Structure 1
């Protein structure tokens, strides 16, 4: 990986994204993503030490859907809330380390992401 490659471009699809990475990937400002968390209860990224947000692949997909409804199809926030509330959802399964590594093209970035998450969790205790 060279230095001008964005970190999110090298991550596996199952890797967690920070709010900065998600903002760069979607073109949405970080404050909009935080605002959507207050308006859409389905959007619940993991929060670690220092309130650092980690978006799971399911969260990323939901952000893209909300963006599609609001910014491309012209729905209001209330309209999107009603659409999402009407859907039957099951709580997303949090992938374990073995699943993250198995889904990754290369296990090293996935293992580093797991290591970093564990280090932050230990530092928070």
Structure 2
């Protein structure tokens, strides 16, 4: 049965997730060792079945690592802070950067205002 024939909430095998996301199966297994939030259901023979939330997390990790320039350690810190329930508070106080460091929100707002003033001058 192909992905297109499965229901939206159906579990996916590691091969289906790999083909849907472009992340190789060995990389998915590696990420399971590095990101405790990524825990697919395992059945007999250690077969992995990814829930829709797991697939979404794989896509997010892939975007953070591949597109946004985060390191594995940076993504670990970001996901850990969200798991602790800190996703709303730190986002209001600071914005994460690809290096995993935080920039004070006030500094970002000052930069935004400066750029807006420059645009308005033209």
- Name the TM tier (shorter chain): 0.5 to 0.7
Rounded Cα–Cα distance in structure 1 between residues aligned with 2:52 and 2:12: 8
Q: Does 1:58 align with 2:53?
A: yes
Report the equivalent of 2:70.
75
Rounded Cα–Cα distance in structure 2 between residues aligned with 1:35 and 1:83: 18
Give a deviation string over 1:18-59, Cα, whole Å, max 9, x none: 000000000110000000000000000000010000000110
Please state whether the residue corresponding to 1:53 is helix, strand or coil: strand
Quote the offset at 1:88 in angstroms: 3.6
Structure 1 stretches lacking a partner, 5+ long:
1-5, 91-125
Rounded Cα–Cα distance in structure 1 between residues aligned with 2:11 and 2:35: 19
Q: How does 1:1-125 map to 2 (within 5 A)?
A: 7-88=2-83
Quote the offset at 1:8 in angstroms: 1.1
Highest Rg: 1 or 2?
Answer: 2
Q: TM-score, normalised by structure 1?
A: 0.65
Rounded Cα–Cα distance in structure 2 between residues aligned with 1:9 and 1:28: 19
- Greater relative contact order structure (CA < 8 Å, 6+ sep): 1
Q: Which runs of 4+ in 1 moved over 4 A?
A: none
C-alpha RMSD of the superposition: 1.5
